[in-house]
Amino acid sequence: MCGKMLEIADPVHGQILLPYDIVQIINTPQFQRLKNIKQLGVMFVNKPEAVHTRYDHCIGTYWASKRMLNKLEINSKWITKDKDWPVYRLSVEIAGLLHDIGHGPFSHAWETVVENYNHEWNAIPCVNAIFRQLDSSIFNNLRANRNFGIELIKALIVGEPNLLSTPMPEQYLFVFEIVNNKQCSLDVDKWDYLNRDHHCLKDFCNPDMNFIDVFLNAAVTDDGKHIQYRYEDYDKIYKLFTARFEFHLKAYRMQKNLACDYVLRKIIMDNNFKIDKKDITEITARDMDLFLKFTDDCVFDLIKDTVDFNCFKYPKQIELVDSSQPYDFILNNAFKGPGEEMPPDTQFHFYGDISKKASIKRDTKGVNEMLYFKFDKSIL
């Protein structure tokens, strides 16, 4: 079906062109809900600039997946010769678009409130609901062979080939290393969110972000099982994981941000908030009508009259001090590890001349100290 394309001016990728069928997905209530799910949870309380959303990130990840797939087709020409390739390619693109569709309010912060909440598995009923709503005249190739393409989208989001009822040919297993790469954690999700977070937070966290060529020089192994990267880009792979570490240390798990996560969890655990008689800690996408209402604004509206909510209105009331009795929650969520936080080389596949493997300076920035907090007891 033909239709009008949507053009978006994106601060990370520039002009993004969305074809008609993709726009139909974006227009569903499941995807529109992401406009009210902040990418960085409650970090905006301490960093007002941190207000970008999962909606922005998901569209950016879709575009990053298209760019990487374009290069894979150029660098591994054999994949375009198979008549089934368009189904695999489109499934990867839509998996990139929908990979975070199952997030709860305030993104990962909600996973500290409900410890068994898994946004990837929660995406499965969202994908099912979206394709039920779409006109049957679009995405015919994904619906063929007992909805193989739709099944593949869900498997790609979760990162589990075994979810497919019909095993896929081994020559296409590499598609599982593009959106949610469990082989070496190098995927277009990180390409987008690191650059998107950097765009908003670079005034206080500004690592070397020169790693996009890693994805644009990637190829597919001859057997089709893996993505392979150039030896020349080895240092850029290292830069990506170093940047990720710095964002965890200075931003995602910034002390005051963890403190706000703790307060959010405490408020929810200390009260019995419900939506339509259902405890909010039990809401998932399997309760679709409730899930569509379940956003950042919804949660803040529920908790706004609690005394603890003052922490979000007056964040200076949370202060950092040394303490011999830190809260277990804070310590368990503090980010500790080597500076590069990079998987072993054995988890990567490389191509080209090994003598051109770029060298790196392993300047480990391990976190040796523990992070300690205290809260103003008058507001807790």
Number of neighbours of residue 148 by Cβ within 10 angstroms: 20
Number of neighbours of residue 304 by Cβ within 10 angstroms: 10
DSSP state of 271: S
**Per-residue pLDDT, 343:** 86
User: Are 75 and 159 within 8 A, CB to CB?
Assistant: no
**Per-residue pLDDT, 340:** 57
Residue 197 is assigned to a structural domain of this protein: yes
Residue 129 is assigned to a structural domain of this protein: yes
**Per-residue pLDDT, 48:** 93
Strand 318-319 to strand 374-375: parallel, antiparallel, or no bridges (unpaired)? Answer: antiparallel
How far apart CA 116 and CA 119 sit, in angstroms, is 10
Residue 1 is assigned to a structural domain of this protein: no
Q: How far is CA 187 from CA 8, 30, 65, 360, in A?
A: 23, 24, 9, 21
Which residues have C-beta within 8 Å of that of residue 147, sequence separation ≥ 6?
131
Q: How far is CA 72 from CA 51, 77, 78, in A?
A: 33, 8, 10
- The phi-psi region of residue 230 (left if phi > 0; otherwise alpha if psi is between -120 and 50; otherwise beta) is beta
**Per-residue pLDDT, 103:** 98
**Per-residue pLDDT, 346:** 87
Number of domains within the chain: 1
Q: CA torsion angle for 256, 123, 201, 50 (degrees, to 10)?
A: -60
Residue 110 is assigned to a structural domain of this protein: yes
For tokens 């798990």, name the residue: 253
Residue 290 is assigned to a structural domain of this protein: yes
Residue 86 is assigned to a structural domain of this protein: yes
Task: CATH number of the domain at 271, please.
Answer: 1.10.3210.10
Q: What is the 3-state secondary structure (H, E, C) of 275-291?
A: ECCEEHHHCCCCCHHHH
**In which domain, by residue range, is 269 found?**
6-379
Per-residue pLDDT of the chain (380 residues; tens, 9 = 90+): 456 889 999 999 999 999 999 999 999 999 999 999 999 999 999 899 999 999 999 999 999 999 999 999 999 988 988 899 999 999 999 999 999 999 999 999 999 999 899 999 999 999 999 999 999 999 999 999 999 999 999 999 999 999 999 889 999 999 999 999 999 999 999 999 999 999 999 998 999 999 999 999 999 999 999 999 999 999 999 999 999 998 998 899 888 888 889 889 999 999 999 999 999 999 999 999 999 999 999 999 999 999 889 888 877 766 655 444 445 666 677 766 555 568 888 899 999 999 999 888 665 444 333 344 444 444 33
Q: How far is CA 238 from CA 91, 163, 177, 352, 358, in A?
A: 29, 31, 17, 18, 10
**Per-residue pLDDT, 159:** 97
How far apart CA 292 and CA 290 sit, in angstroms, is 5
Q: Strand ranges (DSSP E) for 145-184?
A: none
User: Are 159 and 168 within 8 A, CB to CB?
Assistant: no
Strand 14-18 to strand 6-10: parallel, antiparallel, or no bridges (unpaired)? Answer: antiparallel
Determine the length of the chain: 380
How far apart CA 255 and CA 318 sit, in angstroms, is 10
**Per-residue pLDDT, 376:** 47
Angle of CA points 53, 58, 64, to nearest 5°: 130
